[in-house]
């Protein structure tokens, strides 16, 4: 690919033919034509404008913890957030953070400021931006409960705007970012005063629960399917007798049937075939249509 970003971004933040397996928690994915890390909103806008002008597709990647990337990789530019996007500040019971910060760092920052409300997020291996896009949640908490404002970049109109919680259209694993393709730049959250030890204890308890229930020892993208209304995806998959079912290197986890795991050599093709098989068998067994929660990146054929 032509080096259209080299006038905008220092070359050490531009990588060509970068394997996406290095940037996804599934550890799957062929090379992206180019992967560029932007350190502030100005760089982000310039990179997007250059991609548009060069007719190059682009995709904003967070921590890649909810993404299955194609074995062929991505024809275009993968954009990641660094620099200023990783910062945070606390004031009273408010915390404001850049969209690139990891949820673990954010939850620790809240704990250190004796603020409660982000404990649920401490074990979710994504960034704040990815969590806003997905309205990530766990153990009764979700992003919609703490967000007050999100600063977004609208890549269609090239404008920066601030959206209030009610303008975020938060729902189950969705938000206006998903609907409209807005990019989150930063976010303000309102938490509850507590004490650091209580917050730490809750975080440790939840981490223990995750360790017991989830196959954290294998690469995955978390729950593969959304929770169908009135059911649990893991239970439906278990009832269809699919625990441990394997295609190539992809396997329905024995420990948590809702997770597809990479046993070491899985390809995106293995995972998509397994997803298709699971969907078919659950439909036959229980009449329920499972819908993937994970985001597919690149050409899946
Ligand atoms: C072991 C494990 C456990 C998990 N547990 C949970 C859980 O308990 N609850 C839960 O909800 N999820 C869970 N997940 C899934 C995942 O971590 C979350 O969905 C997380 O919010 C994704 O964030 P990310 O930064 O990795 O996003 P990515 O996977 O990189 O991207 C996901 C989507 O968000 C978009 N996106 C990323 N950043 C931005 C931004 N700044 N602006 C706009 N769009 C953006 C991307 O374009 C993409 O479409 C788990 C995953 C794993 C591997």
Predicted TM-score of the model (pTM): 0.97
Which numbered atom of ligand 1 lies nearest the CA of 128? 25
| pLDDT tens figures, 35-80 | 999 999 999 999 999 999 999 999 999 999 999 999 999 999 999 9
Residues of each domain in the chain carrying CATH 3.30.465.10: 87-210
Residues of each domain in the chain carrying CATH 3.30.43.10: 11-83
Whether the CB-CB separation of 121 and 106 falls below 8 Å is answered with yes
State how far the Cα of 217 lies from the Cα of 67, in Å rounded to an integer: 18
Ramachandran sector of residue 241 (left: φ over 0; alpha: ψ -120 to 50; beta: rest) = left
Strand-strand pairing, 220-223 and 183-190: unpaired
Which numbered atom of ligand 1 lies nearest the CA of 214? 1
Query: One of 21, 119, 173, 194 is an active-site residue; which one?
Result: 173
Give the pLDDT of residue 300: 86
Residues of each domain in the chain carrying CATH 3.90.78.10: 215-297
Percent of all residues in the chain with a pLDDT value above 90, rounded to a whole number:
98
Q: How far is CA 222 from CA 210, 214, 244, in A?
A: 11, 8, 16
Q: What is the mean pLDDT of residues 123-147?
A: 97
In the predicted model, is pLDDT for residue 1 greater than 80? no
Probe residue for ligand 1, chosen from 171, 175, 222, 297 as the CB with the greatest number of ligand atoms within 8 Å: 222
Q: What is the CATH number of domain 215-297?
A: 3.90.78.10
Closest CA to 239 of 289, 293, 209, 284: 284
Is residue 293 annotated as a catalytic residue, yes or no?
yes
pLDDT tier, 116 (very low <50, low <70, confident <90, very high otherwise): very high
Ligand 1 interacting residues, C-beta cut-off 6 A? 25, 59-67, 99, 124-127, 129-131, 133-134, 136-138, 177, 183-184, 214, 216, 220-222, 295
Q: Which CATH number fits domain 87-210: 3.30.565.10, 3.30.465.10, 3.40.30.10, 3.40.50.170?
A: 3.30.465.10
Is residue 212 annotated as a catalytic residue, yes or no?
no
CA–centroid distance, 235 to ligand 1, in Å, is: 23
CATH topology of domain 11-83: 3.30.43
State how far the Cα of 99 lies from the Cα of 109, in Å rounded to an integer: 14
């Amino acid at each position: 690919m032509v080096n259209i970003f080299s006038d905008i971004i220092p070359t050490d933040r531009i990588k060509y033919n970068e394997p996406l397996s290095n940037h996804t928690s599934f550890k799957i994915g062929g090379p992206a034509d180019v992967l560029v890390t932007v350190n502030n909103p100005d760089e982000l806008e310039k990179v997007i404008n250059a991609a548009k002008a060069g007719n190059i597709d682009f995709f904003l990647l967070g921590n890649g913890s909810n993404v299955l990337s194609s074995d062929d990789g991505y024809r275009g530019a993968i954009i990641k957030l660094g620099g200023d996007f990783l910062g945070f500040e606390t004031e009273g019971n408010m915390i404001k953070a850049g969209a690139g910060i990891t949820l673990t760092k954010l939850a620790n920052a809240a704990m250190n400021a004796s603020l409660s409300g982000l404990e649920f997020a401490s074990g979710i291996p994504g960034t704040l931006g990815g969590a806003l896009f997905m309205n990530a949640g766990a153990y009764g908490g979700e992003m919609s409960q703490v967000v007050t404002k999100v600063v977004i970049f609208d890549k269609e109109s090239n404008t920066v705007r601030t959206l209030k919680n009610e303008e975020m259209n938060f729902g189950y694993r969705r938000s206006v970012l998903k609907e409209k393709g807005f990019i989150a730049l930063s976010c303000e959250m309102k938490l509850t005063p507590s004490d650091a030890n209580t917050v730490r204890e809750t975080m440790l308890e939840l981490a223990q629960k995750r360790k017991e229930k989830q196959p954290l020892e294998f690469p995955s993208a978390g729950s593969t399917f959304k929770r169908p209304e009135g059911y649990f995806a893991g239970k439906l998959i278990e009832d269809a007798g699919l625990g441990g079912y394997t295609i190539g290197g992809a396997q329905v986890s024995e420990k948590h049937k809702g997770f597809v795991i990479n046993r070491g050599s899985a390809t995106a093709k293995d995972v998509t075939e397994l997803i298709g098989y699971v969907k078919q068998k659950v439909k036959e067994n229980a009449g329920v249509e499972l819908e993937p929660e994970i985001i597919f990146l690149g050409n899946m054929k």
